[in-house]
Chain A
Amino acid sequence: MSDIPMRDTELQVSGNRLAGIVRSIARHRVLAVSAFLLLFPLIMPYEALAVNILIFGLFALGFNLVFGYMGVLSFGHAAFFGIGSYATGIAIVHLGLSWLPAILLGVAGAGVVAMIMGGMAIRSRGIYFAMVTLALAQCVYYLVYQMSDWTGGEDGLTGVKAGEINLGFFEFNLVDPTAKYYFMYVFVVIAIFLFSRILNSPFGAVLEAIRENENRARACGYNVLLTKWYAFVISGLFCGLAGSLNALHLSVVPIESLHYHLSGQAVMMSLLGGMGTFFGPFVGAMAFLLLEDIITTMTTHWPLFLGTIFMIFVLFFPKGIWGSVLHWMKR
């Protein structure tokens, strides 16, 4: 946990061109990831998978703020993803709003839930924090499950159609997969930019200070509890946006978007990609979903293969894929 690979200071290795490239990527990380994602659908087998990676990359990115940068393990992030999805879905299906207010409502809904959950959970630490967030997320799950008039309950919320989107100068339909990808792309790039700004701000530095030594951060005069709560809520907002986009992507909101299994996936993606690194969550989401996609079409015994691959990563590459790449570059 002590190494913070994305800081320039640690990358100043001379005489290594690769390190130079990595350094320039690190310096322009928003630009780099935007450029990569711009070309991304071209190297993917199909657009829906690219959209999935985009959405789950954003989800893991938001989760990573709390997990990787602040060092607090939450098992309740599915609640933010799910509420983002449901709020957007309900805005479109029941309230008849158009896509932009629906997305904003999704993000806001996730924010409100994060405020409440954070307020209740933030005083506990370590495994207790994980358990409290898990329990609260399960409460959200059952609440939504029971409100079947609004949410569709077991059947999920269907009919979430944004359909034709008219920007005044440009019209497109989300049924077209390429248009859908670039529609999502715009939101994700804005989110990544904001995320980078947050990390680079003094606030971001305090987060890492809390991760390294909470008592010292407190002794320095920072309000640790409040900072943790802010981070939790901000993280919830990003995950809410991911959920909101997912509702538009699938045109349904399945009940499992609130399931704790999804919270586990966020942990897995962050670990696989490299927690506490900027690109890690996207790399993790890509590796996870791509592997899953390829292996499930080849064999019905896919959990066996995926499990083995995860174990290899946890045992031999504890820094995750991107974390390990950074580590090798530095040597």
Chain B
Amino acid sequence: MKDVIIIGAGAVGAFIARSLSRYEVDALIIEKEYDVGDVTSMANSAIAHSGYDPVPGTKKAIFNVKGNRMMDQVCDELDVSFDKCGTLTIALYDEQLPMLEALKKRADENGVPSEILTKEQVIAIEPNISKEVKGALLCPTGGNINPFTLTAHAVENALDNGLNITFGEEVVAIEKIDGGFKVTTNKNTYETKVVINAAGLHSDDIARMIEPIDWSVKARKGEYYVLNHFGKGFVKHVLFPLPSEKGKGILVTQTTSGNYLVGPSSEWVDDKEDFSTDTLTLADVRRQATDMVPNIPFYEQIRVYAGLRATPSTHDFIIEPSKSYKDFINVAGIESPGLVSSPAIGEYVVEELVKAVLPLKEKASWNPRIKPYIKVADLSFDEKNELIKKNPHYGKIVCGCEKVTLGEIEDAMSRSLPVNSIKALKKRTRAGFGKCQGGFCQPNVLNLIAKNKGISPLEVKYDGEGSEIVILEVKKEAK
């Protein structure tokens, strides 16, 4: 019997796993996708919120503020880019100015540093903002974070420290047994003392497998534009508009990789697998964004995407044992600000909820750090030369748009966390994330994955089940 099974390897599952990996436990993460952080943790606003916004006293407020304070250290240990550029919550209309005051008060109550800026102050630090701006709330501790590596590196760290993970396995049934639970997936059956339900959008479905519940998780879709990294500082902070009659929450920011992100929309959807985008919604996103930042160069657009927020019916994070069993722990409804909260949630779940039901002995050898990833493009001239002398593959660029070398790709594929798909490699290394969207490098990347895994190129997937890229070898009779 295993000690712990964590269902779901999103940001929350990843940080629960990492916190758990401090201890001598036999723990397994079960992930239904072919990569970690492949659903909500991947397609979001990539923001580390400061915590000025959640209602004081809620779990959202507590974990957001704590998570933000942990983030510098977490990102240092896990080699994740965190650009603490500050957030600006923008008032575009006079009637919004009192809302700034209210938010400032909320920030004070949550213990989050903030400052109200005048129109002139905002224009001075954000030259591309609408001249209609009336004022803003600056929160210097918020910023942009790389959501892909945040999740992946937390899992990698947990695996380095002895946890296990399985991919492409979907939990289909859970049954209470003596001393724990029997967890049945589409592929296997496991027995475990503790279950942690971190199944994101499907966490209510998982919770219902053992008892009736009085909450649910609904999918709220957000659609975004991604623009190329056409230059630094077109916007210098994360820009959020205050809600108004004309709209709500379309942010403009520069991601940690230098791209600009515009979005999200907000729309309830019934289908938790519906990641489609549509023209009218995106047009509305664009209109709202240009109210705040008029000259966004949309001709630099390289991609659009949609993410689904796991929105709880309770309006707050659900982080507690199930009603019937203390050793079945629900961590559900982690919508925004979930990404930044995840390290704090992980710590709390393990220290307070798991420890209450399972004796945990610290590992002597726990290492909070992963082996740093080399980003050749960020190295100095001399560092590059030294590195390429040692391993010439760091001198060979595979993805020209994002300047990713063969050495970096091979490094990513040699880690404890496997690279199972083209998208996984893209999230680890950025190969294929650039302006040509893999047009040039994907054929090469596909072959590298095939070679690394010892499989045929016909078996290499873009992402999940059935997502192979090439489907037929021509002229086989001549082989």
Partners in one complex: no
